[in-house]
């Protein structure tokens, strides 16, 4: 009805839109798809080059959005505490962290590079800053080798990062901060995925 009256008003069929102030129902949020620990290991095993290993480990261990990784500069890496400053939604900066495995492969990848590009990840041919489409292609290539019967995309690694942290007992406020979520409601959806943690807490407290 809102669309119909909006169209009628814009086309001049009615002088006033009677449905202008009607609020649309909020669409329910879908539970994010995530990967199990064994699927993560299959993907990890399927990486064949320092680039693939570095990109996969960085995506998974930081939980960054793909757009944040694409724009990341090498100079924004702090090796002393295994962290990076990324620019997220709304042009806001935040500090993210990566693990030792990621540090090892990231250093190996960067050490083998012979280009002077400032980007953290560059294309394999004629090195220049990698695009979002190229990063997606690499993750798709890894997932094909892994033989996982799922359509895998980079954002699933972000969902998996959040889910695994929650299952390991991390507070939602910490996960919210690390993911760069502005609203806590966005992070709370991961609580629905945390079946094993809920079961453990039930047995502990009931």
Nearest to 180 by CA among 97, 82, 58: 97
Among the listed residues 2, 44, 129, 155, the single catalytic one is 155
CB 31 within 8 A of CB 166: no
In 3-state terms, what secondary structure has residue 99?
coil
Has 42 been annotated as catalytic?
no
Among the listed residues 53, 159, 164, 190, the single catalytic one is 190
Among the listed residues 65, 109, 159, 161, the single catalytic one is 65
Among the listed residues 53, 159, 164, 181, the single catalytic one is 181
| Total H helices, total E strands in the chain | 10, 3
What is the C-alpha separation between 175 and 165, in angstroms, rounded?
7
Has 155 been annotated as catalytic?
yes
Has 89 been annotated as catalytic?
yes
Has 190 been annotated as catalytic?
yes
Residue 123 token pair: 């294309």
β-strand partners of 86: 94
Residue 83 token pair: 């962290």
Has 204 been annotated as catalytic?
no
Q: What are the CA-CA distances from residue 106 to residues 51, 56, 181, 185, 200 (Å)?
A: 8, 10, 26, 33, 36
Q: Residue 125 gets which letter from DSSP?
A: S
Has 65 been annotated as catalytic?
yes
Among the listed residues 158, 159, 161, 164, the single catalytic one is 158
Among the listed residues 6, 29, 89, 92, the single catalytic one is 89
The terminus-to-terminus CA distance of the chain in angstroms comes to 49
Catalytic residues: 65, 89, 155, 158, 181, 190
């Amino acid at each position: 009805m809102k669309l119909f009256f909006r169209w009628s008003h814009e086309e001049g069929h009615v002088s006033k839109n009677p449905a202008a102030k009607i609020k649309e129902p909020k669409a329910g949020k879908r539970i994010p798809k995530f990967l199990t620990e064994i699927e993560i290991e299959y993907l990890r095993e399927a990486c064949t080059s320092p680039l693939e290993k570095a990109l996969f480990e960085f995506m998974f261990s930081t939980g960054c959005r793909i757009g944040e990784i694409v724009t990341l500069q090498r100079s924004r890496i702090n090796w002393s505490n295994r962290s990076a400053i990324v620019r997220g939604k709304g042009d806001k900066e935040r500090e993210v962290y990566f693990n030792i495995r990621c540090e090892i492969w990231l250093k190996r990848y960067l050490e083998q590079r012979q280009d002077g590009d400032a980007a953290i990840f560059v294309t394999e041919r004629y090195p220049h800053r990698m695009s979002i489409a190229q990063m997606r292609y690499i993750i798709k290539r890894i997932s094909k080798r892994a033989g996982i019967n799922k359509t895998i995309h980079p954002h699933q690694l972000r969902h998996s990062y959040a889910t695994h942290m929650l299952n390991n007992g991390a507070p939602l406020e910490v996960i919210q901060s690390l993911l760069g979520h502005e609203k806590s409601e966005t992070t709370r959806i991961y609580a629905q995925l945390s079946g094993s943690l809920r079961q453990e807490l039930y047995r502990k407290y009931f």
